[in-house]
Amino acid sequence: MVSPARLAAAPYSLVLGYPRATPRQLGSRADALRTMGVTGVSFEGPTRLGTLCVLGKGYSGVVLAARWRRRRVALKIRRTDSPRKTMAAEARLLSMANAARVGPKLYAHSRNALVMEHVEGVRISDWLYALKGRGSAARARRVLRSILESCHALDSAGLDHGELSMISKHALVRDDDSVAIIDFESASSLRQVSNVTSATQALAIGAALSSVVRRRCKIPQRRRIIALLRSYKHSKSDPAFAALLEGLGL
Ligand SMILES: Nc1ncnc2c1ncn2[C@@H]1O[C@H](COP(=O)(O)OP(=O)(O)OP(=O)(O)O)[C@@H](O)[C@H]1O
Ligand SMILES: [Mg+2]
């Protein structure tokens, strides 16, 4: 475990101010983490950044396993070259998602960081590839259903995630087969919502994932799914969603 103060020096400074930061920026970021209640960071996870292991890296942030008020958490640190000037918008959007019981729980945020629930899970695409053995069709159906339920909860809350056409990056499946939708930086409460339609399109119609889905469980032909989505889209109501799940065989 590395304390926030030590993060400001090499080699850890690379993740605190990725891809580059001034000593002043590093100092103020380290202070802010301490003020937020982050007590340490541990360098673990599937992604490497220089010599360090992290939970993930994207265009706007680096995500680290950390400790906050005795809890294991995920810490998303804003990249210094992020298109977003602060984490404020993402924090607001994630807390809206949380109000709909979706997404990792947001615990704290500052200008350059989010402290949230650490989702110990794998990407839906990897999960589907690895899935085998008895009961795997039923498990696949349950997981697909939970993803779509989260999407419908977002639709009902009027929050559009915005990147669910890339569902493989944005849905993590835990050991108990529960699901978390992540990364709300591009979400919006002003746009027309298309969470269920985008996720269904990616999971069951689009080329990449749907062929794996089809190997794991039986779902209707693409034409049929397109028709089902068309009728869901009109009202996006609970009964329309129930009819969609029914039609998909989930
Ligand atoms: N709460 C979390 N728990 C565990 N891992 C997470 C969590 N949030 C993000 N990650 C990991 O970190 C990666 C990057 O996170 P995220 O997608 O939020 O960053 P980003 O910079 O917005 O990425 P992108 O450029 O793809 O939009 C994720 O793909 C995931 O592997
Ligand atoms: Mg993102």
Q: Are 121 and 180 spatial neighbours (Cβ–Cβ below 8 Å)? A: yes
Q: Residue 243 Cα, ligand 2 centroid: separation in angstroms? A: 31
pLDDT, tens digit only, all 250 positions of the chain: 999 999 999 999 999 999 999 999 999 999 999 999 999 999 999 999 999 999 999 999 999 999 999 999 999 999 999 999 999 999 999 999 999 999 999 999 999 999 999 999 999 999 999 999 999 999 999 999 999 999 999 999 999 999 999 999 999 999 999 999 999 999 999 999 999 999 999 999 998 999 999 999 999 999 999 999 999 999 999 999 999 999 999 9
**Measuring from atom 31 of ligand 1, which residue has the nearest CA?**
56
Which atom number of ligand 1 is nearest to the Cα of residue 82? 21
Give burial (CB, 10 Å; 0-12/13-18/19+) of 230: exposed
**So what's the pLDDT on residue 207?**
87
**From the CA of 59, which ligand is nearest?**
1
Q: Which of 106, 118, 108, 104 is nearest to 71 (CA)?
A: 118
Which atom number of ligand 1 is nearest to the Cα of residue 104? 1
With a 6 A CB cut-off, is 55 part of the ligand 1 pocket? yes
Domain 4-117 has CATH 3.30.200.20: yes
Q: Residue 182 Cα, ligand 2 centroid: separation in angstroms? A: 9
**From the CA of 75, which ligand is nearest?**
1
Q: Residue 71 Cα, ligand 1 centroid: separation in angstroms? A: 19
Q: Model-level pTM?
A: 0.96
With a 6 A CB cut-off, is 78 part of the ligand 1 pocket? no
Domain ranges in the chain are: 4-117, 121-248
Residues 6+ apart with CB under 8 A from 71: 107
CATH code that applies to domain 121-248 = 1.10.510
